[in-house]
Amino acid sequence: MKNKPFWQCRLAADTGKKAGELLIYGPIGDQTWFGDEVSPKQFREDLQALGDIEELRVYINSPGGDFFAGNAIYSILKRHGALKVVYVDGLAASAASLIAMAGDLIIMPSNALMMIHNPWAVVTGDANVLRKVADDLDLIRESMIAVYSGRTKQPRDKIISMLDAETWMTAKEAVDLGFADEIEEAKKVAASVNGTKAVINGIEVDLTKYRNVPDFGQLAAVRAGVSPEDVSDKLAPEDTSWEAPDLEDFTDKSWDELSDAEKRRIAGHYAWARTMPPETFGDLKLPHHRPSDGAVVWRGVANAAARLDQTDLAAEDVPKVRRHLARHYRQFERTPPWEDALGNKLRLLSLELELLSHGG
Percent of the chain with pLDDT over 90: 53
pLDDT for position 319 = 92
What pLDDT, in 10s, does the model give residues 284-332? 999 999 999 999 999 999 999 998 877 767 778 889 999 999 999 999 9
- Return the CATH number of 7-219, one of 3.40.50.12280, 2.40.30.10, 3.50.7.10, 3.90.226.10: 3.90.226.10
Query: HEC states along the chain?
Result: CCCCCCEEEEECCCCCCCEEEEEEECCECCCCCCCCCHHHHHHHHHHHCCCCCCEEEEEEEECCECHHHHHHHHHHHHHCCCEEEEEEEEEEECHHHHHHCCCCEEEEECCCEEEECCCCCCCCCCHHHHHHHHHHHHHHHHHHHHHHHHHHCCCHHHHHHHHHHCEEEEHHHHHHHCCCCEEECCCCCCEEEECCEEEECCEEEEHHHCCCCCCHHHHCCCCCCECCCCCCCCECCCCCCCCCCCHHHCCCCCHHHCCHHHHHHHHCCEEEECCCCCCCHHHEEEECECCCCCCECHHHHHHHHHHHHHCCCCHHHHHHHHHHHHHHHHHCCCCCHHHHHHHHHHHHHHHHHHHHHHHC
pLDDT digit string (tens) for the chain, length 360 residues: 455 678 899 998 765 678 999 999 988 875 554 445 557 788 889 999 999 999 999 999 999 988 888 888 999 999 999 999 999 988 999 999 999 999 999 999 888 899 999 887 666 777 887 787 777 777 888 999 999 999 999 999 999 999 999 999 988 999 999 999 998 876 666 666 666 777 776 777 777 787 877 766 555 545 678 999 999 999 999 999 999 999 999 999 999 899 999 999 999 999 999 889 998 888 899 999 999 999 999 999 999 999 887 776 777 888 999 999 999 999 999 999 888 654 555 555 655 566 566 554
pLDDT for position 26 = 85
Domain extents for the chain?
7-219, 223-360
Quote the mean pLDDT of the chain. Answer: 85
> Could you give the residue numbers annotated as active site?
94, 117
Confirm whether pTM is higher than 0.85.
no
